[in-house]
Structure 1
Amino acid sequence: MASVLVPLAQGCEELEAVTVVDLLRRAGIGVVTAGLDEKPVRASRGTVLVPDTTLNQALKQKYDMVVLPGGLPGADHLNEDLRIRGLLKEMSETDRYTAAICAAPKVFASAGLLEGKRVTSFPGVLDDFDGFDYQTDAVVQDGKVITSRGPGTAMDFALTLIENLVGKDKRDEVEAALQRPQ
């Protein structure tokens, strides 16, 4: 079974976090949500999320993909956490998937993982960085780096993650059950 870690920081964007977790689980993918500490996570709009475990505990196992939800100040907290940066570098060095949405691609930029890549983000988030090819598509994939624009693109983002981890047939199956307009 494919495995995914979704770190949850205080102030994350709940629509992005919950959409990704929900759709990946619908696809039969093993998802672990991990708080940066032991507290429940108060998301950017006040929703309280209860992570499955702490990041320290979650880091004891390996994952096929790490997905960073955006939102502020959530993405800033992820960016400041050296464990997250170390994990992202390890994922990149071992050719595993890293994915980020909204403000979270700046964590990739700070960790030096976007050099020469095609990427997207919430408008303005990556303005202080360079060395990549910025796109305005809803979801942009360059190799094993997948980025997306924001809450409104969260479903397309999650479906892209599913396709990469378990194939187009499973993506189509999950999407059909969602009753999205064609």
Structure 2
Amino acid sequence: MPSVLVPLAQGCEELEAVTIIDLLRRAEIQVITVGLDDGPVRASRGVVLLPDQSLDAVLSQEFDLIVLPGGLPGADHLERDQRIRDLLRRQAEAGRRVAAICAAPKVLASAGLLDGHQATCYPGAINPADYPRVRFTDAPVVVDAQVVTSRGPGTAMDFALELIAQLMGEARRDEVAAALVRS
């Protein structure tokens, strides 16, 4: 069973966080949520999320995927956290997947993990001039090698379904999508 780490920062976008966690768990993927600090996480619109563990408790573990929910100021907190930056770099150096949605691709960009890749993000979250080695697009979801990015809350379901496809294959993604009755 693939393992996925979802760091939850104060002020994260709850729709993105919950959609990612929910859909990956529906696909029977092991999802571990962690808080940057101990205790509950108050998301950007006041929803309170309870992480499974603290970030410090998982720093030595390996994951098949690390996914960053966006939202502000959540993405800013992720970007400033050296533990997150170190985890992401170690993940990329090992050839394992990283993913981010909404404003969180800026965390990947500032860590140098988008260099040479195509990526997308929430409009205005990243100044493309600051990252000339990244090819930005306005596509809803972008997969480039081991990096997956997405635009925002409205693309969260497509993003999560793509993560399922990356980890478990298209057939599993299609099973989860069918059960959601999206059309």
**TM-score, length basis structure 2:** 0.97
Corresponding residue of 2:149:
147
Q: Residues 62-91 of structure 1, C-alpha deviation per residue, up to 9 Å, x if partnerless? A: 100000000000000000000000011011
**Post-superposition offset of 1:116:** 1.2
* 1:4–1:30 CA contact under 8 A, matched in 2: yes
**Post-superposition offset of 1:51:** 0.2
Q: Distance in 2 between matches of 1:153 and 1:36?
A: 25
Where do residues 43-122 of structure 1 align in structure 2 (5 Å cutoff)?
43-122=43-122
Give the letter aligned to residue 47 of structure 1.
Answer: V
Corresponding residue of 1:29:
29
Q: Distance in 1 between matches of 2:103 and 2:92?
A: 19
**Could you say what secondary structure the match of 1:66 adopts?**
strand
**Could you say what secondary structure the match of 2:173 adopts?**
helix
* 1:32–1:58 CA contact under 8 A, matched in 2: no
Q: Distance in 2 between matches of 1:58 and 1:138?
A: 30
Give the letter aligned to residue 137 of structure 1.
Answer: A
* 1:14–1:43 CA contact under 8 A, matched in 2: yes
Aligned length: 181
**In angstroms, what is the RMSD of aligned CA positions?**
0.7
Structure 1 runs of 4+ off > 2 angstroms?
Answer: none
Q: Distance in 1 between matches of 2:24 and 2:153?
A: 16
Q: Distance in 2 between matches of 1:71 and 1:13?
A: 4
Q: Distance in 1 between matches of 2:156 and 2:181?
A: 16
Corresponding residue of 1:165:
167
**Post-superposition offset of 1:60:** 3.0
**Could you say what secondary structure the match of 1:70 adopts?**
coil
Q: Residues 82-119 of structure 1, C-alpha deviation per residue, up to 9 Å, x if partnerless? A: 00000110111010000000000000111011111000
**Post-superposition offset of 1:126:** 1.4
**TM-score, length basis structure 1:** 0.98
Q: Distance in 2 between matches of 1:115 and 1:100?
A: 15
Q: Distance in 2 between matches of 1:3 and 1:150?
A: 23
Q: Residues 14-46 of structure 1, C-alpha deviation per residue, up to 9 Å, x if partnerless? A: 000000000000000000000001120000000
Match of 1:174 among 173, 176, 180: 176
Q: Distance in 1 between matches of 2:59 and 2:26?
A: 24
**Could you say what secondary structure the match of 1:91 adopts?**
helix
Q: Distance in 1 between matches of 2:17 and 2:181?
A: 21
* 1:13–1:43 CA contact under 8 A, matched in 2: yes
Structure 1 runs not aligned, ≥5 long: none
2:45 equivalent to 1:42: no
